[in-house]
Amino acid sequence: MMRISQQNHHLKLDPEGDSMDILSSHTIRDIKEKEWDEFTGFFHPDRLHAWFRTIEDSGIRSMQYVFIKERRNLVAAACCFPYRQKTLGIQMPFLEIRSPLSTSRAFFSCDPQHSHALITELEHIQTEENMKGVLLLNVTGTEVNHLRDHLSSFTPFPMYENTYINLPYSDFDDYLSSLSRKIRGNVRNTINKTKKRWKMKTLATTEFSKWKTVACTLQEYLCRIHNDYRWYLSERFYEALEKNCKDTAELLIIFKDDTPLVCGLTLNSSTICQCRAAGVDPRYRKYQAYFLMYYEEIQRAIERNQKRIYFGTTTYTFKERMGFEKENLYGFVKMKNPITDLALKSYITLSSLWEKRF
């Protein structure tokens, strides 16, 4: 039996008599990087080994993992962390199963027996951490029915949609040609004003430690305005990012003279770009640098020959004009207290009926 430090580890027999090697750990490093990335796929950068190492090293979330192996091969896994936030109108501590600071899922199972084993271990973690419920988040519309069969004791609910653009374009002008004449004119007008009239410059850098204070300051402006620090990235995070993701991440900062106006972080794989952690100095909004950042990120993704770029779950009106599409996301929830769980199921059911009526 494999020995792994600082974790629980046991064997469990499935109904056919084969053994499942179940490991729970506080670090992704207990699974080799190549093995993990091949298991999750190389497409979503916030599911990769390097991303979870970054989160661990930054201390921004207290990560825990459950791994299932059969014949020494990784066949199922879940990544989670205890977190207190307002979910479905309820403010209480949940064990969240998701890729941290992202819109990607982190529950990987194709088999009901594996799913059951994962949930059993996750509920043990929930008890140890004194969490009131378990949230499995960021399940796409194509995955929700599959997981519904595996998670019969959980209740599904809709989340905010993620936004994205598919990128079958040869260059940025080709992308603009897909938009309406009015929107195309507005984009070109914004680019001309920001770059030619106001002489704004864009810095694309992987020197995260050098620019960490600028990035944190700009993002904090938005966090303060919205009174929401859930997605805030600390200076320690950028130091960990430089250590683990320098080849796949990029920080964009737009300047007017020597003054940084906006910034945005991108995570990249060969096919996907994920944009996050936008920051804006509200004193300079008239310069429209926030919109320029969107255009720069799209252009750079096209130049990298990526197939899709994700922009998260906000500012839908602007994004729809820019040709963005929406990806439905769902969650599953189960409360530890049976009475509370029943009440929550009733609330979700009534909410769904209300939405169908209106």
Please, what are the domains in the chain? 7-161+328-357 (3.40.630.30), 164-327 (3.40.630.30)
Please state the three-class secondary structure of the chain as a single string.
CCCCCCEEEEEEECCCCCEEEEEEECCHHHCCHHHHHHHHCCCCHHHCHHHHHHHHHHCCCCCEEEEEEECCEEEEEEEEEEEEEEECCEEEEEEEECCCCCCCCCEECCCHHHHHHHHHHHHHHHHHHCCCEEEEEEEEHHHHHHHHHHCCCCEEEECCCEEEEECCCCCHHHHHCCCCHHHHHHHHHHHHHHHHHCCEEEEEECCHHHHHHHHHHHHHHHHHHHCCCCCCCCHHHHHHHHHHCCCCEEEEEEEECCEEEEEEEEEECCCEEEEEEEEECHHHHHHCHHHHHHHHHHHHHHHCCCCEEEEECCCHHHHHHCCCEEECEEEEEEECCHHHHHHHHHHHHHHHHHHHHC
Distance CA 139, CA 48 (A): 17
Cβ burial 311-336 (10 Å sphere, 16+ → b, else e): bbeeeeeebeebebeebebbbbbbbe
CA end-to-end distance (rounded Å), the chain: 57
Determine which of 47-56, 162-171, 327-336 has the lowest per-residue pLDDT on average: 327-336
Query: What pLDDT was estimated at residue 228?
Result: 87
Phi-psi region of 354 (alpha: psi -120 to 50; beta: other; left: phi over 0): alpha
Angle ∠(323,328,332) on CA atoms, nearest 5: 160
Is pLDDT at 88 greater than 70 in this prediction?
no
State the amino acid at position 247 in one-letter form: D
The mean pLDDT value for 137-153 works out to 89
Q: Are 76 and 108 in contact (CB under 8 A)?
A: yes
Q: For the segment 166-198, what is each residue's pLDDT rounded down to a tens digit?
A: 999 999 999 999 999 999 999 999 999 999 999
Supply the pTM of this predicted model.
Answer: 0.90
Confidence of residue 72 (pLDDT cuts 50, 70, 90): very high
Longest dimension (CA), the chain: 72
CB 135 within 8 A of CB 97: yes
Give residue 351's pLDDT. Answer: 57
pLDDT tens profile 242-292: 999 999 999 999 999 999 999 999 999 999 999 999 999 999 999 999 999
Write down the pLDDT at residue 340. Answer: 78
Average pLDDT over the chain, rounded to whole? 90
Summarize pLDDT for 223-240 with one digit per residue, the tens.
999 888 889 999 999 999
- Could you tell me which residues come within 8 angstroms of residue 209 by beta carbon, excluding any fewer than 6 positions away? 238, 239, 242
CB-based contact 204:251 (threshold 8 Å): yes
Predicted pLDDT at 16? 55
- In this predicted structure, the answer to whether residue 136 has a pLDDT above a threshold of 70 is yes
72-91 average pLDDT score: 83
Pairing of strands 272-280, 308-312: parallel
How many residues can be counted in the chain? 358
